[in-house]
Chains A and B, each alone.
Chain A
Amino acid sequence: MTTASLSLYEKRKGVYPKAVDGFYRRLKWAVMAVTLAIYWITPWLRWDRGPYAPDQAVLIDLAHRRFYMFAIEIWPHEFYYVAGLLVMAGVGLFLVTSAVGRAWCGYACPQTVWTDLYQHVERWMDGDRNAQIRLDRAPWTAGKIARRVAKWSVWLVIAFGTGGAWIFYFADAPTLQHQFWTGTAASVAYATVAVLTATTFILGGFMREQVCIYMCPWPRIQTAMLDEKSLVVTYKHWRGERRGSLKKAQAQPDAFGDCIDCDQCVAVCPTGIDIRQGPQIGCITCALCIDACDKVMGQVGRPRGLIDYCTEDDANAEKAGRAPRPVLRSLLHVRTLVYLTLWSAVGAAMLFALGTRTRMDISAQQDRNPVAMRLSDGTIRNAFTVKLRNMESRPRPMRVTVEGLAGVSLWTDRDGRADARAAIDTVVPPDSVAKLRLFLAAPAHGPLRQDFAFTVRATDREGGADREPAHFERLQ
């Protein structure tokens, strides 16, 4: 066997991004600080919900099928709010892409944030780009092994902190932390932490830009959504070419553009691309090359912005010597506004639904076997399983009545027909569903199938009501 002439697998080329400082680098620092803080602090925020509900501000309580987010509590049947959030997240990504291109990829994506964090650790421990390259090529001496072990240990600690924080969103954080360290937490907690620690370690430490280039579908979607009005990181080739070293350019100023071919844009790129080859899928628009190039342009006394955020329209205008549109105009084009409207509409609809939703309801299921049967006094009995849902975190007294069924009497399986009455009073425990078995007896004369409705009314001061249509069936 010989090797095939065509290789389907490209070996990873090492990426050793150089440290850089500048406006966008500081922006990235700020975004990293905010996103990591949100991730690590959120589960520890408290929110008082009274004695019957957990006091964790954000809690996905899978065991009890509740989702708490500050003042909002969502039940499984209200899952459309979560669907709405997902729709908003999706449209929000469209909106961001339409307005500022792949800003999500460059600044806020967890893969970017954690890779960035890992690269800082790497530079802090192994030195900057050149030292890293040297160390990578060096033979495996005891010193190199020690440095690798040290670096991986720090990575592992970060990975553990990342994976460990995740589980606190799903249970009471202080309790779970205590359980976790004392070995009494559920095995799924340990498994989750182990898996997420491993994925953070591998994705942030080793796979890095390969996740963006080969694994993530989002760059494909985004590149499809970009148009001539999208902000992309652009190398202004009409200004930079023909590139040549500073020395050559000084010798022949007319033959060369502004690019002095110093390769700093390539050196700082966290995905290892050369932006001067034009927009490409590997570019996450983190703008670090803008920072690097601006610095060099400053040093050689040329105007900044040889590499800059720029739309294709603006690039064409600039090439033709026209003035680019103002930034605000390019941000607020039609597509952006449509996405913004859509996004706001979904958000407003959800807020409206949240504001007007009722926190109690009734549902009734008729016994199907037997549906209707005769009692000894000749009346007809139907039986129903009625569920009263109390979504408030306090017990609520409720009264169930029957509407539109003349001569009906009702009783539950807890008492007998001797206690038959016109309304059933019960107290529904907080944050739960109470199940009542109701027996309804009505005169035998009447339609074979008669529509009526169960109504429930909260008899406390706050009140509230709901209604459930049902039908009463009689015998032939």
Chain B
Amino acid sequence: MADPTKSKIDEPTGTPTMGHEWDGIEELDTPLPRWWLWTFYACILFSLGYVIAYPAWPLIEGYTKGALGWSSRGDLAKEMATQAAKVAPIHRAIAATPIDQLPARPALMQAAVDGGRAAFKVHCVQCHGSGAAGSKGYPNLNDDDWLWGGDLATIEKTIVDGIRNPDHAATRLSIMPAFGRDQLLQAAQVDDVVAHVRTISGQQRGDAASQRGAQLFADNCAVCHGPAGKGNRQLGAPNLTDGIWLYGGDGDSLHQTVWNSRQGVMPRWGDRLDAATVRMLAAYVHSLGGGEAAPVMAVDNVAGEASDARP
């Protein structure tokens, strides 16, 4: 504490001292610089205003909201709204353009692919992976093998209606029987069918088992997979002769597939996402390298007649 009676003036600086001394060292009672003091008062004033204007004090439940009503969540909402307004015209244009006409408008197509890439990262990567490379049971969307078809319109329909949605009439639906579990085939017969499938896909040479399997295949499998095992996209039946296996092409995996059947599902995105987003996703998936051209009209008609003729 400064003792006023002991206080004296320090000669070299002309400043009063605090009046105490340690080992001959005295402390100057230098007043605060005015600019510092005024800055300090200004800071106090500013903080008072700040506390009133902005969220500041934590309460038991919640916090003081501040007179301006600012919040970082509100900022985010504003930014999201701004962005949505910015892309709205593009989304409207995409939603208004039938997907098979998108490629004729390259700029719009590019916008759709870019938008689809972003939407894919949000909605699809959980199953198909961030690079759309899929994994066991989840198709790789980069390749040229399609269960239901790889042209733009077909991809879009698959996304809109989903796969094996029990509450949706238009969903992609194919039910492969569980041949072993439901005792349609004996274990040995399943092995024979597997041997046949591995033969037609070029993974092993034909032998007695595969020859027995060929007949079983013709009786049980060809109705969907076709007599040559080439599959049928109308039914979502995979091509069994190519190099791509959704659940694995080795003997054990195939045995399990035939024994238990496989019934992968995909949500129907048509009632979760707006039309533009679904269209953009289809454009993006189509752009990954395996996209196919739309089937030629004539072929379409033939297919249409065929399906009409069936019932």
Contact = CB atoms under 8 A, between A and B. Distances in A.
Contacts of B243: 374-379, 444
Contacts of B293: 416, 418
A383 B143 contact: no
B239 A376 contact: yes
A52 B187 CA distance: 73
Contact of B143 (A1, A369, A373, A418): A373
A8 to B, nearest CB: 14
A381 interface: yes
A416 B15 contact: no
A4 to B, nearest CB: 7
A425 interface: no
A381 B142 contact: yes
B289 A1 contact: no
A439 interface: yes
Contacts of B130: 369
A367 interface: yes
Interface string B144-159: 1100000000000000
Interface string A239-254: 0000000000000000
B13 A374 contact: no
A375 B143 contact: yes
A413 B142 CA distance: 11
A333 interface: no
Interface in B1-38: 12-15, 31
Contacts of A413: 287, 289
A1 B144 CA distance: 88
B244 interface: yes
Contacts of A381: 142-143, 289
B179 to A, nearest CB: 25
A417 B142 contact: no
Nearest to A418: B293
Contacts of B145: 375-376
A370 interface: yes
A374 B292 CA distance: 17
A369 B31 contact: no
Contacts of A416: 291-293
Contacts of B133: 369-370, 373
Interface in A32-72: none
A373 B128 CA distance: 14
Given A369-B133, A416-B291, A376 B244 contact: yes
Contacts of B289: 381, 383, 413, 417, 439
Contacts of A374: 143, 243-244
Given A370-B142, A374-B244, A1 B15 contact: yes
27 contacts: A1-B15, A1-B31, A2-B13, A4-B13, A367-B131, A369-B129, A369-B133, A370-B131, A370-B140, A373-B133, A373-B143, A374-B143, A376-B144, A376-B145, A376-B239, A376-B242, A376-B243, A377-B243, A378-B243, A379-B243, A381-B289, A413-B287, A413-B289, A416-B291, A418-B293, A439-B289, A444-B243
Given A375-B243, A376-B143, 17 more contacts: A2-B14, A368-B131, A369-B129, A369-B130, A370-B142, A373-B133, A374-B143, A376-B144, A379-B243, A381-B142, A381-B289, A383-B142, A383-B289, A413-B287, A416-B291, A416-B293, A439-B289
Interface of A: 1-2, 4-5, 367-370, 373-379, 381, 383, 413, 416-418, 439, 444
